[in-house]
Structure 1
Amino acid sequence: MTAADTQEAAGPPAPPVPRDPKGTDGRPGPEKETAGDLGKRRRKKGELLPFLLILPAILAIAAVYAFPLSKTVIMSFQDMGRRELWTGESPPWVGFEQFTNILGDSEFWSVTGRTVLFMAVCVVLTMAIGLLVAMMMTRLSTWVRLTLTAALIAAWSMPLMVAASIFRWLSDSDYGLLNTLIAKVAGDDFLGHNWFLDPWQGFAIITLLVVWGAIPFVVITLYAALTQVPRELEEAAALDGANVRGIFRFVTWPVIRPVFVMVTTLSVIWDFNVFGQIWLLRGNKPEPEYETLGLYSFSKAFESTSFSQGTAIALITVLLLSGVAVYYLRQLMKTGEVE
């Protein structure tokens, strides 16, 4: 019997059985992952990765600041005095009375205006001098730039108490170097001059200390940003006839602007909260004319033993600085740093 006769006897071949998408037990079988699904899963992991990396830092900050901040908020709605502090009794709730008393006090607004003016002068001087020094560093030779960087880091790492002691000696009325140098130019009548009798002159010395301590961070950060400016763009702008001002405005500034805004925002927050410089230069007991919001809050809490009023002033300060933080985030969004 031939193969054809055998196939004819067996009948026509059975049609192919379609593959059952379900398994033998009736459940759906495994489906093959497509390239698109794999790409979406990888993108989702990539989006979560930055949040997972900063999660430990967020938890550490929350563990350190969550309880003090919550305690500050609660205490600002209470009336805690010396009795409640020593006996441990629960202070009475007064609602918004602390805030209405503070906002209705003319002294608070005077201190706030003094703080804003002092902060503005410090920030403007710090950013202007820092930017000029950073731009100068781009034109220095390597060894001069390294020497200047080492000097800036050394000044930055100096403890605040040591720096304040140096500035107290410089401005001392009897043996201060500042009075001696001015006396050689203006005459001996300047010897014995007390800079802190006049608050304007006293704040000038304090401003010098604040700016001196803040410039190293600003210079190093802005210099790092300036190194990211493409040199070929500056050369092309110069060939097109742009002057130094035009090159900085249209080539350099757009590159360093996000870093400049970040450093300016940090300077505003730091200079708004200046405490140690004034406290140390005024011998641990600043006069009312030298009080900023931080010192005003401290004096209300510990000298007037009105702890709730001091915490209310601190909370108002936090709210004021939150506005600065919101502005900074908006600027980041505009520059494309935050999507």
Structure 2
Amino acid sequence: MSAADTTTPAKVPPPRQAPPPPAVPRKPGRTRTSKDTAVPWALLAPCLLILALVLGYPLVRLVTLSFQKFGQSQLWGFQPPESVGFDNFSLVLGDGEFWAVVVRTIVFAGGSVVFTMVVGMLIALLLQRVSGWVKTLVNIVLVASWGMPIIVATTVFKWLFDSDYGVFNALLSKLPGVDLIGHNWFASGPQGLAVIMLLVVWGAVPFVVITLSAGLTQVPAELEEAARLDGAGAWGVFRYVTLPILKPIIVMLTTLSVIWDMGVFPQVFVMRGGHPEAEFQLLTTYSYDKAFVVNDYGQGSAIALLTVLLLLGVVAVYMRQMLKIGEVE
């Protein structure tokens, strides 16, 4: 073996690491002061004050009355209000009529919401496929119907379904084998509530259509075209492209519709001449009758408070759905 073979190979030094990039100096920011925090609250103060006066005081008064015995004697000052604890709630919750009204209200509100959303979605989709002047004309009609006062709309529907002079009965009677001349739609609760539900849907559809039409303009045409190229039909494009994009709007509209339809009062009150029968009672009219017809303001307030709590449950579901949508996005 030669001497060259016995020499120890030279060690290769490790590669030098690049120095870290210099830190970018931060721009000096202005320190947040208490004045900066107070300005937004000062701007919100008038609105919060109005809300406290308009909503806060009645709600506090409602809660107070629900725990008191408060009738005509207490109203006129002959006797002081008497605290009864949860007796009003016990009487209301133990009354079978109250639970019948709750079920009737939920069915009525649920049916109204479903029909409102389905009809509103169909009209909104149809407006995307018509010419400009037709779309403008339909929007004018929708806004006009939406702006009609509830009392006027209720009076019109009351005339349309009148048993003697109603146009609806006359039109249906022209169909073969149909004879509805003189038919009274309000002789039974289900038929009468169906007419009132139609009135509620008629008044709520314009808002849903206008809102959904605005949402449909945000659906990218590229996604719809790509879905069609992949073999999706009209239903597939709507289900997998349009519906997911419109989901936040649909959740919002559904929640608002539930709240509004659970609080229906003038439609029932005016349609039944100010004296809704037992088959037409909803939570709002039932609470009104207990307070101002029977003059038991304590039980009427308890029913109203239970209605508020039921609606707060709907709002909680809405907030949970919106938070889930925000997490997915």
TM-score, structure 1 as length reference:
0.84
Matches within 5 A, 1:17-166: 36=26, 38=28, 56-87=46-77, 89-166=79-156
Deviation at 1:201, TM superposition (A): 1.0
Deviation at 1:190, TM superposition (A): 2.3
Inter-partner Cα distance in structure 1 for 2:272 and 2:193: 11
Deviation at 1:147, TM superposition (A): 0.7
Contact 1:300 1:310 in 2 (8 A): yes
Are residues 1:293 and 2:286 paired? no
Secondary structure in 1 matching 2:82 = coil
Matches within 5 A, 1:167-246: 167-186=157-176, 189-246=179-236
Inter-partner Cα distance in structure 2 for 1:47 and 1:136: 48
Are residues 1:320 and 2:289 paired? no
Inter-partner Cα distance in structure 1 for 2:112 and 2:178: 31
Alpha-carbon spacing, 1:216–1:52, altered in 2? closer, same or farther (3 Å) = farther
Q: Deviations for 1:265-323, whole angstroms, at most 9, x for unmatched residues? A: 00000001111101111111111110000000000001111001000000000000000
Q: Deviations for 1:54-110, whole angstroms, at most 9, x for unmatched residues? A: 664333222211111000001100000100101164300000000011001101000
Inter-partner Cα distance in structure 2 for 1:38 and 1:290: 68
What CA RMSD, in Å, does the superposition of the two structures yield over aligned residues? 2.6
Inter-partner Cα distance in structure 2 for 1:186 and 1:323: 48
* Alignment gaps of 5+ in structure 2: 1-23
Alpha-carbon spacing, 1:337–1:170, altered in 2? closer, same or farther (3 Å) = farther
Inter-partner Cα distance in structure 2 for 1:296 and 1:73: 18
Inter-partner Cα distance in structure 2 for 1:323 and 1:196: 32
Deviation at 1:171, TM superposition (A): 0.5
Alpha-carbon spacing, 1:53–1:214, altered in 2? closer, same or farther (3 Å) = farther
Alpha-carbon spacing, 1:199–1:255, altered in 2? closer, same or farther (3 Å) = same
* Alignment gaps of 5+ in structure 1: 1-33
Deviation at 1:326, TM superposition (A): 0.6
Inter-partner Cα distance in structure 1 for 2:237 and 2:328: 27
Secondary structure in 2 matching 1:336 = helix
Deviation at 1:198, TM superposition (A): 1.4
Secondary structure in 2 matching 1:241 = coil
Poorly superposed stretches of 4+, deviation over 4 Å: 34-42, 44-56, 186-189
Deviation at 1:46, TM superposition (A): 11
| Percent of matched pairs sharing the same residue | 51
Alpha-carbon spacing, 1:52–1:238, altered in 2? closer, same or farther (3 Å) = farther
Alpha-carbon spacing, 1:319–1:36, altered in 2? closer, same or farther (3 Å) = farther
Inter-partner Cα distance in structure 1 for 2:243 and 2:82: 55
Q: How many residues align?
A: 305
Secondary structure in 1 matching 2:84 = coil
Deviation at 1:48, TM superposition (A): 9.8
TM-score, structure 2 as length reference:
0.86
